[in-house]
Structure 1
Amino acid sequence: MTKNIILALIVLIDGYFLFYFVRDLVKNKAEFQADPGNNYALPFTSFLIFFLSTFGISDFAIGTAIYSHFKWVSIKKLPGTLNAQCAIPVSAMTLFYITAISVGIKTLVVCIICQIIGAYIGPRFVVKLPEKTIKIFVGIGLIIAAFLIFAGQMKWIPTNGTATELYGGKLILAGFLMFLYGALNNIGIGSFSLTMVTVYLLGLNPAAAFPIMMGACAFSLPIGSVQFIKYGDYSRRITLFASVFGVLGVLVAVFIVKALNVYMLKWLVIFVLLYSAYSMLAGQFKHQS
């Protein structure tokens, strides 16, 4: 019953996001036309980003690498774009994972609410940050994501937990961390890898990471993204393509591919993330020296 309520709320929150997004597109047709981005490449990249995201590879990290390399979005608009492009595809993932994987309702609800609060507060501070600061934050986020994936590859992080519910201090800690991850999302630091590590270290069943991280993002991303939409600090073009073709990537991953051996792919992702982090941070440190 509770899961059905959560699923219904996800649909409502997506309607809330779509209302503001479509209204913004209609009001800003000229800005939409002026947004950089290749109309032939964006369907493919959107599909790929969220196809991989369905298997736990951070869409924030891959999106940052692609959009920065092709200069499809300015650094100033990058955090808002990374959040807005995820709103619909991540909700599609969540509708599958919450119904398919068992996790304690109390733990799930606490994690969702705490990340929503962090996501709601974050954008009003991020839009005031200078590009240089955003670059440093995003660059550090890419390094953190690469390290966490590397740690998983090397089996440094325990993944043998069996619990499906958290209690007491562990639940409070999880709530605080999810609040922090919701805020970090708005700077362009994705929460998928961070949430997975948190789930593992707190002793939960590794499979519980998927409904928790995607359930939390299904609520927090639309709410945070609406704030970015109101400020106009996001790429309308990328968000539109991701909302359509990203969902297709999710559906193919869930219903056709279903399982993917991502071990070798993750090594490639680590290299891409570190290269992107270097490209983003090298200029900043060179400028300071």
Structure 2
Amino acid sequence: MTPLNRSLLKVEEALDVVLLGKREQVRLALACLLANGHLLIEDVPGVGKTTLALGLAKALDLSHQRVQFTVDVMPSDITGSSIYRADQHQFEFQPGPVFSEILLADEINRAMPKTQSALLEAMEEGRVSQDGKTYPLPVPFFVIATQNPITHSGTFALPESQKDRFLMRLNLGYPDQNAERDLFHRGVALLAMDVEAAVITRSELLEAKKAVQEVNTSNALVDYVLRLVRYTRSCGYFTLGLSPRAGLGLLSASRAWAWLEGRDFVMPEDVQAVFVSVAGHRLQPLQGMGDSANLGPLDCLAEVDVVA
């Protein structure tokens, strides 16, 4: 394990102080960032979604913005707009919150579809176009979007094509009994805690992202990923199987997980560690399939052999 690996593990430790009992979810979020993806968190209020996003930004020494999405938020409120400067007799572009290195898009499903699309297009292209000019987004650029899967009133569900823009979906869930007991003992003091200082620099993060891209994937490993992806299309249990984009994302996330484990090569266990988070929001069971309606990513892992 290199010093750079150990630095990223310190990020996990820093977040473990303020987000009790969520070490695996923190590592998945880091893997998503290192794999150049974006993260969708689906969960009920009060389980730490905002704490995770803001803690990551501070620990990684990145600029961040938070946008609370509502029905009246317009695309220009996210991407920015041109303001006329009377003293200069010209328009000047005022960047929106999307021009930050970490953007927390809170309750994205409460925004109108055109506002959702404006953000998701920026995520896909890495730039914003305004009045015939193109403005590149910062590097790194990481979106953490949240939505409450329980409340549907006044919301606009993300279509499948837009969900596919997110590399991973996480569910933080409630803390386990020991973590929740610790939370209750520490009470408001814990809620007031924050990540104390940056753990790594921006340049170290960019170096880590480059190292992740160089993690080796053998032919046998790629074939395993290919079998998983193609099984989701041929098994007949899902409305849509995984797209080629999802397959590439699965490989990227597996590289990131392997690198965080201190290896320069990917093992099947790395693929299995990230598969549910990469595939879960992309696989919708067919209606009217009886018991098959409960099938999900874990069933795919069980059905597809590691060795052909």
For Structure 1 versus Structure 2, the TM-score category normalised by the shorter chain is under 0.3
Give the helix-richer structure, 1 or 2: 1
| TM-score, scaled relative to structure 2 | 0.25
Q: Which has the higher contact order (CA 8 A, sep 6+)?
A: 1
